[in-house]
Structure 1
Amino acid sequence: MGRLFGTDGVRGVAGRDLTAELALDLSVAAAHALGVTGGHGRPVAVVGRDPRASGEFLEAAVVAGLASSGVDVLRLGVLPTPAVAYLTEALHADVGVMLSASHNPAPDNGIKFFARGGLKLPDAVEDEIERRLGESWDRPVGASVGRVRDAYGEANRYVSHLLTTMPGGLDGLRVVADCANGAAHTVAPEALLRAGAIVETIGASPDGLNINEGCGSTHLDRLRDAVLASGADVGVAYDGDADRCLAVDATGEVVDGDQILAILAVAMKESGRLAKDTVVATVMSNLGFKIAMRTAGVEVVETAVGDRYVLEAMKHNGFSLGGEQSGHLIMLDHATTGDGLLTSLHLLAEVVRQKRPLAELASVMTRLPQVLINVRGVDKSRAATSPELAAAVAHAEGVLGRSGRVLIRPSGTEPMVRVMVEAESEDQAHAVASDLADVVRTSLV
């Protein structure tokens, strides 16, 4: 069996890959691996989820596993992933658990664990959890079993925390918020309203099956239409668990994660809040971002794709800002993980503070044409060893020269290989990416 944990927890089709039995066993193994059972008083766990229908039975299984291990459990209900991370720290919990498959469709779900302090688990700890699956253990009985209670009101603690981080209010700013029919459908509108914005909300009627369905940060057409129809100043879109955020300006143009990261990096540098005048980004960041940062006097540190790797580099080197093109941004002064709602509040605060439209702020960088093709139905484990693919990449890099680049990356969360090409023109990027995608399809079978 391959490794259960991907780049963002354990994911799969709920009820088939991610079963109630596996969820219970993972929770027991996590309690043991994280050392929160036996001899530590009354350990506490917080558990949150997004609105997926499968989250209901998975939550029950996770709670059962933790409580049977002697861990007291606070059920947070439907909340964003970063809210669970924050509340793990704020409530001094020993472990946090989030049930979500982020931007994936409704049939999928996932389990993500946080250690004390709301920190994501390093690979070694995840490996230890897998190793301890199904091991024999002494089961608590009587007064030693964990107790379970609801703590839905803690959502207000999270929103209040976000508002205290803002450099200024959003008074009078007209905002459309697309909540992806996901975990942010109540806390995002509340936070924006309390910050002073005039808010129109879409994608805020989850039914357990419509999460990310034609809405949210992976489907921006509805948000663009709503911004244009209402004459709003800006639109923001979250994904299913609200750990990422993208935006749309008043003209309907998309402002991606690279642009948001650039806006915040420049603003933080100018105010002396950007630690070491450095920002952390991934290998997927647009070349235009790197050029803009060089112009602004901001150093860029690159990591592998995945906000966990961005976070590791930030913590190791003492940096305060990092993120991904997808909209995962980490503001380490205020959060332990990527937080879409936090990102949106700080982005909007810059629009108000600088008294400039978002389109003007986003012009701090010029995006080079970038084409991304997701190739499904191939053996992604062979992407790094295929000689045919290596030869094709070398040829493409020779064609592009210094004005472009190629990145072939197996997805960490889905069964696919991503082909990314940047070039001087859209046509060239499409042509090179299409040729490489064909090679992936024929060589990784």
Structure 2
Amino acid sequence: MTSLKFGTSGLRGLVGDLLGWPSYGYSLAFLRHLDVAGLARKSRELLVGRDLRSSSPEIAGLVLAAAEAAGFEPIDCGALPTPALALAALERQAAAIMVTGSHIPDDRNGLKFYSPAGEIGKADEAGILEAFAALGERDLLEFEARGEWQRPAQTLDAVTPYIERYAAFFGPDALTGLTIGVYQHSSVARDILAETLERLGAETLRYGRADSFIPVDTEAHRPEDLELLKGWAAEKRCDAFVSTDGDADRPLVADAEGTVLRGDVIGLLTAHHLGLSTIVTPVTSSSAIERSGIARTVRRTRVGSPFVIAAMEEGAKAGEPGIVGFEANGGLLLGSDVEREGRSLAALATRDSLLPIIAVLAEMAATKTPLAKLVDGLDAGFTAAHRLQEVPASESSPFLERLAGDQAYREAFFSAIGEVTDVNHLDGLRISLRSGETVHYRASGNAPELRCYVEAASGEAAGRLLEWGLEAAEKALARG
């Protein structure tokens, strides 16, 4: 048995299950899949990046060794944000592997795969698994003889072009007049984020730099992170606070009072600031997406960037303009080029934290409006989300299947909070109640967790509904 599995963000699992042959083997399988699919004809380079968790350098060494074994030129990009690595790979039409577990604890890690065309899709996952299953004794013997990468590899600075991308588009005065607190923790972008904001005219104050990895989640916020933000906000020195998850593909933005913005609110503000009119977002995002009137077209998907990207591509084929994708966790994907005042920002169809952070702050600066008032103007409603941890699929799947398929059980389960009026099976189970409130359960694609998302008429009501949702699910799981 192994904890390794593909989810919404590549392959993830316990470090003990990923170190050694698995990291090497899955990297080798990915590159062989590219060859079989004819996706590596223009470039034989593999760009390798990593986050700051303790196991990432060793795993990156295994990936570099696998690249050489597969006949690719290994290029070490070091520690950098996932979107910076993706941008470099797209520009070079090369493959890439990012070693990261994103927001999950330090005892876990993962591999994110990029073909020369961008993020891999579900068909690519199937191809990688097939190639991994086909690896033989010769591959294992070669791995044992080769071991982890020990020699200096060719290196590439993929960070500078990433920063310049936004410095050139937004300009040196985009954030003039703002003082921004940067929660650094163990984000791989902790210095890059502060440097970029300063390039755009902001003053930054740096907080909370950590020596060990901290699993900051931009969706299910840790109480200790919220407490830190409130404490720094009490100093009354900053107009807003920003941060990212571990590999910097998802943003965290909080207002001057330390109140964290939802990911879909960040996405809406970004779409408004950039003038984007086609929004692609998973079912977990709130009904404010449609209610705001910012988008002319809204496409709903399952959770995960592969599904968002597929729907963005469908929108592009249909001729829909100004395409942007984002998730409730804040990851934003730019599906169309943006032109403004003679400057161009090229599409980047992978989750990015820097663009939505800058766009939200630039909207503040341009309108001279506090962030809290910008949010109030969206009529975004109230949502809440959290998770039950250590809930494996063997427990969450039967629970979700029974809720979906057994009407009597479902009605009894929700009877304490209201009458069920609609059931959405797009991703997990999203229940609408007569009151207008919603409760959405889904199993995480990245970790053994059951996530719960709710929407209600007030913040207090959303908090109570979330508490009920988690407790009710926990009791049902305990009963089996």
Q: Do they superpose with TM above 0.5?
A: yes
Q: How many residues align?
A: 431
Match of 1:381 in 2: 397
Given candidates 221, 236, 240, the residue that maps to 1:234 is 240
Equivalent-residue separation in structure 2 for 1:254 and 1:436 (angstroms):
21
1:175-209 deviation digits (Å, cap 9, x = unpaired): 1112331210221112111111111122444x343
User: 1:66 Cα deviation (Å)?
Assistant: 1.0
Match of 1:410 in 2: 443
* SS of equivalent to 1:63: helix
User: Which stretch shifts more, 151-160 or 55-64?
Assistant: 151-160
Match of 1:192 in 2: 197
Give yes or no for contact 2:264–2:289 (8 Å, CA) kept in 1. yes
Equivalent-residue separation in structure 1 for 2:412 and 2:57 (angstroms):
46
TM-score (normalizing by structure 2): 0.80
Give yes or no for contact 2:218–2:245 (8 Å, CA) kept in 1. no
User: Which stretch shifts more, 245-254 or 222-231?
Assistant: 222-231
Instruction: Provide closer, same or farther for how the CA distance between residues 72 and 408 of structure 1 changes in structure 2, counting only shifts above 3 A.
Output: same
* Structure (1/2) with the larger strand percentage: 2
Match of 2:312 in 1: 314
Given candidates 375, 390, 397, the residue that maps to 2:410 is 390
Given candidates 323, 326, 331, the residue that maps to 2:329 is 326
Q: Does 1:358 align with 2:371?
A: yes
1:250-303 deviation digits (Å, cap 9, x = unpaired): 23322221221222223333xxxx2xx22122211123343223xx46432211
Equivalent-residue separation in structure 2 for 1:35 and 1:397 (angstroms):
54
User: 1:90 Cα deviation (Å)?
Assistant: 2.0
Match of 2:164 in 1: 160
Q: Does 1:305 align with 2:272?
A: no
User: 1:376 Cα deviation (Å)?
Assistant: 3.7
Amino acid at match of 1:279: I
User: Which stretch shifts more, 220-229 or 131-140?
Assistant: 131-140
TM-score (normalizing by structure 1): 0.86
Give yes or no for contact 1:55–1:99 (8 Å, CA) kept in 2. yes
Instruction: Provide closer, same or farther for how the CA distance between residues 162 and 258 of structure 1 changes in structure 2, counting only shifts above 3 A.
Output: same
Equivalent-residue separation in structure 2 for 1:253 and 1:32 (angstroms):
47
Equivalent positions of 1:85-124 (< 5 A) are 85-93=86-94, 95-117=95-117, 119-124=118-123
Amino acid at match of 1:323: F
User: Which stretch shifts more, 381-390 or 33-42?
Assistant: 33-42
* SS of equivalent to 1:327: coil
* SS of equivalent to 1:73: strand
Equivalent-residue separation in structure 1 for 2:362 and 2:461 (angstroms):
38
Equivalent-residue separation in structure 2 for 1:49 and 1:426 (angstroms):
37
Give yes or no for contact 1:86–1:336 (8 Å, CA) kept in 2. no
Unaligned regions of 5+ residues in structure 1, if any?
none
Give yes or no for contact 1:217–1:245 (8 Å, CA) kept in 2. no
* SS of equivalent to 2:350: coil
Q: Does 1:348 align with 2:352?
A: no
Instruction: Provide closer, same or farther for how the CA distance between residues 130 and 215 of structure 1 changes in structure 2, counting only shifts above 3 A.
Output: closer
Given candidates 223, 226, 239, the residue that maps to 1:220 is 226
* SS of equivalent to 2:112: strand
Amino acid at match of 2:113: F
User: Which stretch shifts more, 231-240 or 246-255?
Assistant: 246-255
Equivalent-residue separation in structure 2 for 1:38 and 1:352 (angstroms):
43
Give yes or no for contact 2:217–2:245 (8 Å, CA) kept in 1. no
Instruction: Provide closer, same or farther for how the CA distance between residues 376 and 390 of structure 1 changes in structure 2, counting only shifts above 3 A.
Output: farther
Equivalent-residue separation in structure 2 for 1:389 and 1:56 (angstroms):
48
Instruction: Provide closer, same or farther for how the CA distance between residues 435 and 345 of structure 1 changes in structure 2, counting only shifts above 3 A.
Output: closer
Amino acid at match of 1:43: R
Instruction: Provide closer, same or farther for how the CA distance between residues 41 and 287 of structure 1 changes in structure 2, counting only shifts above 3 A.
Output: closer
* SS of equivalent to 2:65: helix
Amino acid at match of 1:309: F
Give yes or no for contact 1:245–1:341 (8 Å, CA) kept in 2. yes
User: 1:426 Cα deviation (Å)?
Assistant: 5.1
Instruction: Provide closer, same or farther for how the CA distance between residues 350 and 73 of structure 1 changes in structure 2, counting only shifts above 3 A.
Output: same
Amino acid at match of 1:398: E
* SS of equivalent to 1:153: coil
Give yes or no for contact 1:52–1:211 (8 Å, CA) kept in 2. no
Amino acid at match of 2:401: T
User: Which stretch shifts more, 371-380 or 171-180?
Assistant: 371-380
User: 1:366 Cα deviation (Å)?
Assistant: 3.2
Equivalent-residue separation in structure 1 for 2:295 and 2:30 (angstroms):
43
Given candidates 182, 187, 204, the residue that maps to 1:182 is 187
* SS of equivalent to 1:160: helix
Q: Does 1:288 align with 2:282?
A: no
Amino acid at match of 1:20: G
* SS of equivalent to 1:156: helix
Equivalent-residue separation in structure 2 for 1:124 and 1:209 (angstroms):
33
Give yes or no for contact 1:42–1:70 (8 Å, CA) kept in 2. no
1:149-181 deviation digits (Å, cap 9, x = unpaired): 242533112111222232762123211112331
Equivalent-residue separation in structure 1 for 2:436 and 2:399 (angstroms):
24
Equivalent-residue separation in structure 1 for 2:371 and 2:39 (angstroms):
53
Match of 1:135 in 2: 135
Match of 1:65 in 2: 66
Q: Does 1:372 align with 2:385?
A: yes
User: Which stretch shifts more, 172-181 or 384-393?
Assistant: 384-393
Match of 2:54 in 1: 53
Instruction: Provide closer, same or farther for how the CA distance between residues 431 and 224 of structure 1 changes in structure 2, counting only shifts above 3 A.
Output: closer
Instruction: Provide closer, same or farther for how the CA distance between residues 107 and 257 of structure 1 changes in structure 2, counting only shifts above 3 A.
Output: same
Amino acid at match of 2:358: L
Q: What is the identity percentage for the equivalent residue pairs of Structure 1 and Structure 2?
A: 28
Instruction: Provide closer, same or farther for how the CA distance between residues 281 and 344 of structure 1 changes in structure 2, counting only shifts above 3 A.
Output: same
Unaligned regions of 5+ residues in structure 2, if any?
144-148, 317-321, 338-346, 421-432
User: 1:98 Cα deviation (Å)?
Assistant: 0.5
Equivalent-residue separation in structure 1 for 2:109 and 2:40 (angstroms):
33
1:291-337 deviation digits (Å, cap 9, x = unpaired): 223xx464322111223322221122125212122211122233221
User: Which stretch shifts more, 84-93 or 368-377?
Assistant: 368-377
* SS of equivalent to 2:401: coil
Aligned residues: CA RMSD: 3.3
Equivalent-residue separation in structure 2 for 1:191 and 1:216 (angstroms):
26
* SS of equivalent to 2:86: helix
Match of 2:269 in 1: 263
Instruction: Provide closer, same or farther for how the CA distance between residues 220 and 228 of structure 1 changes in structure 2, counting only shifts above 3 A.
Output: same
* SS of equivalent to 1:161: helix
Equivalent-residue separation in structure 2 for 1:315 and 1:365 (angstroms):
27
